[in-house]
Amino acid sequence: MSDVTRTLRPALVLFALTTALCGLAYPLVTTGLAQALFPAQAEGSLLRQDGQLVGSSLIGQPFSDPGRFWGRPSATAPMPYNGGASSGSNQGPLNPALADAVRARVQALRDADPGNTAPVPLDLVTASASGLDPHISPQAARWQVARVARARGLPPAQVQALVDAHTEQPLLGLLGEPRVHVLALNLALDASRR
């Protein structure tokens, strides 16, 4: 056996063993455990309505219909809430482009609901760091109640009750802020009309 063969053989055996262990066995075991222990999360936390896939609980969706609640603006490209391009706008608070974008978003919200003179909640005019946030604050949801109720022909109290029912509290009462999942709330609105 030559010196090259003696040197190369252990390296190739170690390479094959490491590839089999890290490239095949480990991913199969972790995927199997995830499927067994957390099946909904392992499948992408998918939301379904009437057996149809409507989205993921982890990624927001663009809504523009006045009869639906609207989420935070998304800074992803080339389309809003693009899960393959998670990013923020990277515009700092002193950037004139950010101030112009916020002014334009406030004006668009005012135009969509001219009777609403309450201050526009910040999360309705600024994108999240990921650009994918599926939640808004309870204040942002309440700000939209009158418009949604009017567009759907529902009493505002009924729409507000749905907002209250879909307000998630901080984890363990300590971690995070109260929030409303926009897609889940819109699905509940759709279900209430049946």
pTM metric for this prediction: 0.77
pLDDT digits (tens, 9 = 90+) for 114-166: 999 999 999 999 888 787 889 999 999 999 999 999 999 999 999 999 999 99
Residues 157-171 as b or e (16 or more Cβ within 10 Å = b):
eebbebbeebbeeee
pLDDT digits (tens, 9 = 90+) for 28-50: 999 999 889 888 888 878 888 88
- What was the pLDDT predicted at 51? 82
Q: How far apart are CA 154 and CA 117, in angstroms?
A: 21
- Residue 78 tokens, joined: 């080339």
Residue 180's nearest CA partner among 170, 168, 162, 192 is 168
- What was the pLDDT predicted at 98? 85
pLDDT digits (tens, 9 = 90+) for 64-114: 899 999 999 888 778 888 777 777 777 778 888 888 988 999 999 999 999
pLDDT digits (tens, 9 = 90+) for 5-25: 888 888 899 999 999 999 999
Boundaries of every domain in the chain: 3-40, 44-192
- What was the pLDDT predicted at 194? 59
